[in-house]
């Protein structure tokens, strides 16, 4: 599999290492927002870990040139419906995830189950806290938003989320922290006057994200349509 890497920061470099370990080739490294479609000519698939304000244009370039694309960049999902419709219209291939770590995707399933169990436990207040490295641009993280949206889908009293310490009873609180050299930690807490229930996923390194992205590319390479990590992991 010949891979075009779009974005060559810490994640891009880790994906390159994992891909080479799995006997794939890196056919192109794209590390500029203003790149030319000729850089996709010799690739089978693209993996995008770029920046939020470039992600949508990167996706369109791939789809318009019949290149399947795996997208790990977050912070652009307000454009998701337009992107999805374009992929379907062009009979393209895309796989997106707010987090490619297999461990995080298992955490998502635990989070949904716990939220459903807590639906009728109205004495508990809830919150999501995420901590990432200081270079992360979007806040809260895409993963934290996914976690919050899963909770909202399963707990009737929550209607929306907000990144704030001050929220009303219908709003799920998200706290985002930025600290040096933290790959990513996500923490869900339910608390009342009697006790506290919490679940946490803590990334030790970026390798788990990179491995998941490469596995996702291996899954997508011969498919058409719109996919996510649930399709890859068969949850």
Phi, then psi, of 82 in degrees rounded to 5: -65, -45
129, containing H or E segment: strand 125-132
Cα–Cα distance, 203 to 179 (Å, whole number): 14
Residue with tokens 């639906």: 119
Classified as helix, coil or strand, 161 is: strand
The question of whether 132 is a catalytic residue gets the answer yes
Cα–Cα distance, 29 to 215 (Å, whole number): 19
Residue with tokens 């068969």: 234
Residue with tokens 């994640």: 11
Whether the bond between 234 and the residue before it is cis, its omega within 30 degrees of 0, is: no
Catalytic residue chosen out of the listed positions 24, 61, 132, 186: 132
Residues β-bridged to residue 86 = none
Q: At what angle do helices 207-220 and 10-21 cross, to 10 degrees?
A: 60
Catalytic residue chosen out of the listed positions 61, 136, 186, 201: 136
The question of whether 24 is a catalytic residue gets the answer no
Question: Active-site residue numbers?
Answer: 132, 136
């Amino acid at each position: 599999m010949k891979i075009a890497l779009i974005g060559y920061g810490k994640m891009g470099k880790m994906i390159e290492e994992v891909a080479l370990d799995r006997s794939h080739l890196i056919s192109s490294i794209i590390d500029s927002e203003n790149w030319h479609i000729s850089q996709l000519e010799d690739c089978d698939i693209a993996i995008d870990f770029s920046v939020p304000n470039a992600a949508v244009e990167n996706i369109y370039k791939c789809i318009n040139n019949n290149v399947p694309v795996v997208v790990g960049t977050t912070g652009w999902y307000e454009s998701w419906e337009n992107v999805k419709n374009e992929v379907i219209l062009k009979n393209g291939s895309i796989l997106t995830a707010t987090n490619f770590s297999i461990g995080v995707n298992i955490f998502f399933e635990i989070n949904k189950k716990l939220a459903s169990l807590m639906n009728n436990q109205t004495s508990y207040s809830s919150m999501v806290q995420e901590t990432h490295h200081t270079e992360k641009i979007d806040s809260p993280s895409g993963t934290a938003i996914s976690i919050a949206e899963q909770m909202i889908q399963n707990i009737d009293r929550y209607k929306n989320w907000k990144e704030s310490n001050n929220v009303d009873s219908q709003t799920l609180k998200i706290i985002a922290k930025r600290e040096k050299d933290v790959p990513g930690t996500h923490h869900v807490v339910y608390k009342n006057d009697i006790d506290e229930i919490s679940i946490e996923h803590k990334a030790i390194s970026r390798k788990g994200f990179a491995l998941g992205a490469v596995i996702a590319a291996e899954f997508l390479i011969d498919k058409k349509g719109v996919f996510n990590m649930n399709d890859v992991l068969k949850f």
